[in-house]
């Protein structure tokens, strides 16, 4: 049994609510606000609920050795890791402008925060929720910092054991019970056989809404998790999967993002009430395709009907086939031509 639904920016997240779809821009903006705005436009066209960035202060996040570690390769934006990280960061003024742009476009904006300074800054923008990425899931001081904002928290659980998740959840609960747990596999792209989607059921034991943050190829799995009960679906997206950068290959392109949202919303519409009934839209088809009792020969008024006089044929405008067993022995109330459907008024009851 999960907790009551959690409200994020006017939308309810939880069981029985529409899937909350997050488009993770992450660092796919390449440190360029123009690309970031184009990605927001893509998200708006796809009609997702929220766009998410990643906010880091590399010097607050990494040791000197980590900052100075050589980092050269096809997806590197600097010779050392610190330079790479800095090249992919947007400025605080950029983030302020992006928040204004999202507000103007009518889409929610949030971010994964990777250090306490970044958390403070993102919170100051007035975002409706904050995400803790898998890398900080066991970072209890960071969890305390974000919990005290009093906002809904998305807690990603990649690389974590159930014991670690429980410790983190109980820690956050000291200040904040607006928690949404995201099942995640922290590989890019993730192999299908490693996704372990049934782990979402295990996460429900904590009593909070459970969602999915995916890095797999395609959209099939992200649709499947919605069917399995995920309250949230988060996917990285990009303008072009061939762009330089480590996350693009595990991202959806604009058309893929649009199709994912389309298919999740189509599935939601298809659920219905669960009560089986004939729809008004089915009635003309039923009339055309259903069978009725029909005459195999001309039957004179007053004739006692036998089975040999009866068959079943379309359309379904006459007596239902179930009367095949009860009509024999009854009399025709009027002349019945050959090869017509038999109506109730044709029979003496």
Going 306 to 309 to 312 to 318, the CA torsion angle's sign is negative
Give start-end residues of each CATH 3.20.20.70 domain in the chain. Answer: 6-270
Other beta carbons within 10 angstroms of residue 313's beta carbon come to: 16
Q: What is the pLDDT of residue 3?
A: 62
User: What's the start-to-end Cα distance of the chain, in Å?
Assistant: 56
Burial 139-174 (b: 16+ CB within 10 A, else e): beebbebbbebebbbbbbbbebeeeebebbbebbee
Cα–Cα distance measured from residue 186 to residue 222, given in angstroms and rounded to the nearest whole number: 15
Q: Do 232 and 209 meet the contact criterion of CB atoms below 8 Å apart?
A: yes
Mean pLDDT of successive 10-residue segments in the chain (349 residues)?
A: 82 97 98 98 99 97 96 92 94 98 99 98 99 98 99 99 99 98 96 98 97 97 98 98 93 98 98 96 98 99 98 98 98 98 98
Q: Do 149 and 118 meet the contact criterion of CB atoms below 8 Å apart?
A: no
What CATH topology corresponds to 6-270? TIM Barrel (3.20.20)
Q: What is the pLDDT of residue 155?
A: 99
Cα–Cα distance measured from residue 295 to residue 336, given in angstroms and rounded to the nearest whole number: 8
Helix pair angle (92-105, 33-46), 10° resolution: 20
Give start-end residues of each CATH 3.90.1210.10 domain in the chain. Answer: 280-348
Give domain 280-348's CATH architecture. Answer: Alpha-Beta Complex (3.90)
Q: Do 241 and 233 meet the contact criterion of CB atoms below 8 Å apart?
A: no
Distance of CA 77 to the CA centre of its chain: 33
């Amino acid at each position: 049994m999960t907790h009551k639904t959690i409200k994020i920016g006017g939308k309810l997240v939880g069981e029985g609510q529409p899937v909350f779809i997050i488009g993770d821009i992450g660092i796919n903006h390449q440190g360029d606000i123009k690309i970031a705005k184009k990605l927001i436009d893509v998200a708006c066209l796809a009609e997702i609920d929220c766009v998410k960035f990643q906010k880091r202060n590399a010097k607050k996040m990494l040791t000197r050795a980590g900052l100075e570690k050589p980092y050269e390769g096809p997806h590197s934006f600097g010779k050392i890791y610190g330079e790479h990280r800095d090249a992919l960061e947007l400025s605080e003024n950029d983030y302020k402008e992006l928040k204004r742009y999202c507000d103007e476009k009518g889409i929610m904006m949030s971010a994964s925060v990777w250090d306490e300074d970044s958390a403070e800054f993102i919170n100051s923008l007035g975002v409706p929720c904050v995400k803790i990425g898998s890398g900080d899931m066991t970072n209890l001081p960071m969890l305390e910092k974000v919990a005290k904002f009093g906002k809904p928290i998305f807690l990603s659980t990649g690389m974590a054991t159930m014991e670690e998740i429980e410790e983190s959840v109980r820690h956050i609960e000291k200040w904040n019970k607006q928690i949404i747990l995201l099942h995640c596999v922290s590989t890019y792209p993730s192999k299908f056989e490693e996704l372990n989607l049934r782990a979402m059921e295990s996460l429900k034991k904590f009593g909070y809404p459970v969602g999915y943050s995916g890095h797999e190829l395609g959209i099939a799995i992200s649709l499947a998790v919605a069917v399995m009960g995920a309250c949230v679906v988060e996917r990285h997206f990009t303008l072009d999967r061939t762009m330089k950068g480590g996350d693009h290959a595990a991202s959806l392109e604009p058309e893929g993002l649009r199709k994912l949202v389309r298919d999740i919303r189509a599935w939601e519409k298809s659920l219905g009430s669960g009560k089986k009934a004939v729809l008004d839209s089915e009635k003309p088809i039923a009339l055309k395709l259903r069978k009725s009792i029909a005459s195999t020969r001309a039957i004179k008024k007053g004739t006692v009907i036998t089975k040999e006089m009866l068959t079943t044929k379309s359309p379904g405008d006459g007596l239902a086939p179930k009367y095949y067993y009860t009509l024999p022995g009854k009399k025709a109330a009027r002349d019945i031509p050959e090869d017509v459907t038999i109506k109730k008024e044709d029979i003496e009851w």
